Structure 1
Amino acid sequence: MHTQTTAPVVIDRREGPYGEVVLRRHGALLQIIANGCFLMDTSDGRSERLLVDAAYEALDGRPRPSLLIGGLGVGFSLAHAAADPRWGRITVVEREQAVVDWHCAGADAPLAELSGRALADPRTEILHTDLLAHLSGADSAAGTTQTYDALCLDIDNGPDWTVTEDNNSLYSPAGLAACQVRLNPGGVLAVWSAKPSSAFDDALRNAGFQSVRTEEIAVARGVPDVVHLGVRAA
């Protein structure tokens, strides 16, 4: 008996300031491809949900903590956070206009089924801007930069496998210092990665983060997905 496989079908393809981004359908799945590199699909979402839950659990029990999600993606992290009434303000930063459109361009938006309820939540705000610019305050008027209780960052495949070269600066000492500035005392930085990185754990410690650790999510094949966690000193 032969199993028929279907070829992926491109739903949308855009050229933007950071290169090409593609949304395609492969069977029942929707997939996001950036510059020819697979980013994510709608198959699971366990590690994206862990990203949010691990950040909440690492907080000190403060009521209604504020959350910044770096990267909208297919919407798993946002949907999971908005489904939890314990979170307060939820801000999502996404630099690709195409990804924002795939969620927000009305009821027919391809990814609206995943994120529609979360986007309608009054706690949710979507910012179309670059994460690094937002963390540094370059996209904000003077004196208006917001701080957060948790930063959940999922903008590429992790510290050792960036999709675009400029993302490397997020994991640099300067990038981690910018994360520290945007965190309230005792706040949590959580970074998703497609594989563990002991070097990034060391970078977090060197940047002054405390209680540095990783949580793993097993995958069907290969090394597990990982969430790197660090806490800003209270």
Structure 2
Amino acid sequence: MLPWIQLDRATIPGALPGEEGELRLKQRGQEFSIMLGTNELMNSRLSGSEEALATLAHEKIGKRSKPSMLIGGLGMGFTLRAALAVLPEDAQVTVAELVPAVVDWARGPMAPVFKGCLDDPRVTIFEGDVSELIRSSTGAFDAILLDVDNGPDGLTRASNDRLYNMGGLYAARSALRPGGVLAVWSSGPDAGFTRRLKEVGFQADVVNTRANGKRGAKHVIWLAAKG
């Protein structure tokens, strides 16, 4: 078997004391992996649940004129590519990525994975904290898709909790247009998060999905509609 080769490393802006503060990009043949410490955050062979995040959110909002979608976390572009495949030509997609190097990797060594999706005229890259962008937006988006951690427990960064706590959920609801949807990816279930979504006023559905088609690890997607 081919060995893993580390291609690059990148510091995570705003990492708190005690947190892993560095991402590592690794390659083995045609396979890529992004690591945070000993945790594999994403792998180029596993894309099913990330793609479902986009397609399920699109189904939830239905056909709209000039839909606006915010994707929190560029990752390996699977959610973005799936969104572009179903959104109309007049859509606007903003991708918020905290670590600038991840955007560089998408245009560099991982370009075969991204297949030019960053050059789609519907796409705008926001290099910064998606939480700050959400809090500064009011009625701006038809859909907000969050895949910035292993789920609402803020495993990789404690500061991600502000996305998933009550204040963060109220901010997300405010940033959505009427009938908009907040879609959140997670590596596992979280009953407390479901309760918080409902307390904020969302109509929350929990969808179980697989990491790779009908196989692979079970993941969870929340679809929280704004009434």
Considering the TM-score relative to the shorter chain, is it more than 0.5?
yes
Partner of 1:37: 39
Q: Corresponding residue for 1:65?
A: 67
Given the two structures, how large is their TM-score scaled by the length of structure 2? 0.89
Say which SS state the counterpart of residue 227 (structure 1) adopts: strand
The reply to whether residue 12 of structure 1 matches residue 8 of structure 2 is yes
SS in 1 for 2:194: helix
1:172 aligns with 2:165: yes
Aligned to 1:140: none
Identify the structure with the greater strand proportion.
2
SS of equivalent to 1:80: helix
Q: Deviations over 1:37-57 (max 9, x none)?
A: 210010021101100011011
Distance 1:192 1:85 in 2: 19
CA displacement at 1:8 relative to structure 2: 1.7
1:82 deviates by: 1.6
Q: Contact conserved, 1:35 with 1:163, CA < 8 A, in 2?
A: no
Distance 1:40 1:80 in 2: 16
Verify the 8 A CA contact 1:103 1:116 in the aligned structure 2. no
Aligned to 1:96: 99
TM-score normalised to structure 1 length: 0.86
Q: Deviations over 1:62-83 (max 9, x none)?
A: 2342110000001101111122
Please list, as runs of the form range in 1=range in 2, the aligned pairs for 1:116-195 lying within 5 A after superposition: 116-137=115-136, 147-160=140-153, 162-195=155-188
Q: Percent identity?
A: 36
2:18 corresponding residue in structure 1: none
Matches of 1:221 and 1:65 in 2, distance apart?
32
**CA 1:133–1:207: 2 relative to 1, 3 Å:** same
SS in 1 for 2:74: coil
Relative contact order, higher structure (CA 8 A, sep 6+): 2
Q: Number of aligned pairs?
A: 217
How far the C-alpha of 1:85 sits from its partner, in A, is: 4.1
Unaligned runs of 5+ in 2: 16-20
Would you say 1:216 and 2:205 are equivalent positions? no
Contact kept in structure 1, 2:23 and 2:34, CA below 8 Å: yes
Structure 2 match to 1:112 = 111
Q: Is the 8 A contact 2:139 2:177 kept in 1?
A: no
Deviation at 1:221, TM superposition (A): 5.6
Structure 1 residues not aligned, in runs of 5+: 138-143
Q: Which amino acid aligns with 2:63?
A: G
Deviations 1:88-124 (A, max 9, x none): 10110000011011113xxxx0122222421111110
The answer for the alignment partner of 1:84 in structure 2 is 86
> What residue number does 1:75 align with?
77
Give the Cα separation in 1 of the matches to 2:112 and 2:216. Answer: 28
